Amino acid sequence: MFDFFFNNGFFAYMLVIVTVLFAYFAQWRVNSVFKKYSGVSSRSQTPANVVARQILDSYGLYNVEVVHVSGKLSDHYDPRNNVVALSDSTFFSPSVGAIGVAAHEVGHAVQYNTNYLPIRLRAIFVPVAQFGSNSWIIFFLIGMFVGWPFFVDIGIVLFALVVLFQLLTLPVEFNASRRAMQVIEDQFLLGADEQVGARKVLSAAALTYVAGLMVSAAQLLRLILMSRRRD
């Protein structure tokens, strides 16, 4: 059974396909849930950018700006410029979904401010992951076609670093969502019933990170099995 597992390339391809389908489902899920709760206005009618500013000020993070960026769900925190960037679908919206997303991005700013260890480790791995993401396939393909096992191994190691980066991202994202829901509750930014919607949006978003990791892990396994069949 184990020989079949490690030597049958069909299994690896099927695993990749299944995880990719799951990733598509996760993306559909987050878009669907956000669409639903972006249409549910909070009772306070406070826009998400104002909520983000309020939370930042409550932590004393007056130096962190809240800026508007184009796109849908392109919200992020940029530690280089020290800004919480909220997208078209979030910035001016007073919806339950938008407030949840804004609070999540502020959570990342708080993580940096409190020296949250996982986000610091993740920041260290950013240049390594970027290099690995851009170069692993070059080493791997050259090694496979020319017959240089060492290059194949380099490609696999570089891709494994990308997977490790995604793994480090999970606790960062989960913690930011946990911080978001906690501050929403503590500062009465949303009512108890409204918090349900915000939590669903953040949970759906977290699922996309899990799916992305699963796809990459399956791809890593496929690369390893391909290299073994060349030996």
Domain ranges of the chain: 2-230
Assess contact for 231 and 149: CB atoms under 8 A: yes
Catalytic positions, written as ranges: 105
For residue 148, name the pLDDT band (cuts at 50, 70, 90): confident
For residue 15, name the pLDDT band (cuts at 50, 70, 90): confident
- Residues 37-89 have pLDDT tens digits of 999 999 999 999 999 999 999 999 999 999 999 988 899 999 999 999 999 99
Question: Is the C-alpha dihedral spanning 53, 74, 23, 137 positive or negative?
Answer: negative
- Strand order across the 83-86 sheet: 65-68, 83-86, 76-78
Q: Which residues contact 81 (CB under 8 A, 6 or more apart)?
A: 65
Q: According to the model, what pLDDT value does residue 146 have? A: 86
Return phi, psi of residue 63, to 5°: -85, -10
Q: Crossing angle, helix 48-58 and helix 96-113, to 10 degrees? A: 30
